[in-house]
Amino acid sequence: MANNKLIVANWKMNKGLVQSQQFADEMKLYLEKHKVIEADIVLCPPFTSLDAVNKKITGTQIKLGAQNMYFETIGAYTGEISPGMLKSCGCEYVILGHSERRQYFNETNAVVNKKVLIALDEGLKPIVCIGENLQEHEDKLTESVIDEQITACLLHVSEEGIANVTIAYEPVWAIGTGKNATAHQAESVHNFLRKKIKKMYNEEVSKNIKIIYGGSVTPENAKELFTPQTINGGLIGGASLEAEKFIKIINASNIK
Ligand code: 13P
């Protein structure tokens, strides 16, 4: 397994076309100056900026991802976006089951599972988000909640399929709150997830699967959060909106 950390920017519902292009330009300039950065970098702009950002980052080490998609491939689903449409804009990744989708759009584990299966069928790499809310955290239910989420979200995902899945552990209480999980807390959940993946698949899969952490990652706490080997990178919200901050986080991930 490459030791590069996977650093994913989730812009959520931020940035129009011009701002998105400006950000991509800033990233490109930085990469040109610094040559190869030892990290796998993914930008997930809103749908409306995918094509424009793709044009900017083609030929660089930056990859493109979407923040959501529908679980059908074509048809009368007004307002929805298919996996094929994402691929046609240059997406390699797609974030699925983000807690904001679960909270505001009633996405259940069953819906997330349908999306994961179709994304894999259509050749996209899903970044599957799971995590407990504050009440569950306080009630010490973290492990049972993520156990249930991961079992349901990965239902019928084959061993071949799981090789293209990334899991993002995003405790809901840490998202946008400025209260990140400690490296120790995240490490213990990631270890739990690996054991679970080992039971569902095998040791090889559990070692190779990328499990990234999200929730109030900043340039200040990134190095500490990315130090445990079991934490393969980060899913970054607020701090990914400014290129300078995002680049600092990428640099903090290069842990030798
Ligand atoms: P923040 O980094 O803003 O807490 O958001 C995390 C997140 O939800 C990334 O998907």
Identify the pLDDT of residue 98: 98
State yes or no: pLDDT of 9 exceeds 90: yes
Domain harbouring 48, CATH code? 3.20.20.70
Please identify which of the residues 137, 170, 187, 190 carries the catalytic annotation: 170
Q: How far is the CA of 76 from the centre of ligand 1 (A)?
A: 32
- What is the pLDDT at residue 34? 84
Nearest CA to ligand 1 atom 5: 237
Q: How many helices (H) and strands (E) does the chain have?
A: 12, 8
Query: 98 catalytic, yes or no?
Result: yes
Distance 31 CA to ligand 1 centre (A): 24
Which of 6, 7, 8, 10 best tests ligand 1's pocket when mutated (most atoms within 8 Å of CB)? 10
Interval 236-246 mean pLDDT: 97
Ligand 1 atom closest to 217 (CA): 2
Told to judge if 170 belongs to the known catalytic residues of this protein, a careful annotator would answer: yes
Task: Ligand 1: list residues with CB < 6 Å.
Answer: 10, 98, 170, 175-176, 214-217, 235-239
Q: How many C-beta atoms lie closer than 10 Å to residue 105's C-beta?
A: 10
Atom of ligand 1 nearest to the CA of 129: 10
Question: What average pLDDT does the segment 162-168 reach?
Answer: 98
Q: How many domains does the chain have?
A: 1
Which residues form the domain of 149? 5-252
When pLDDT is cut at 50, 70 and 90, the band that residue 255 belongs to is confident
Give yes or no for residue 1 having a pLDDT over 50.
no
In the prediction, which pLDDT does 149 show?
98
Distance (angstroms) between ligand 1 centre and the Cα of 42 equals: 14
Structure pTM?
Answer: 0.97
Report in angstroms the alpha-carbon separations of 57 from 28, 53, 60, 114, 236.
7, 6, 5, 30, 19
Extended beta strands in the chain, E state: 5-10, 39-44, 62-66, 93-96, 125-130, 166-169, 210-214, 233-236
pLDDT range class, residue 122, cuts 50, 70, 90: very high
For ligand 1, the distance from its centroid to the CA atom of residue 1, given in whole angstroms, is: 26
Judged by average pLDDT, the poorest of 29-38, 70-79, 80-89, 195-204 is 29-38
- CB contact at 8 A, 190 and 228: yes
User: Considering only CA atoms, which residue is closest to atom 7 of ligand 1?
Assistant: 237
H/E run at residue 198: helix 183-200
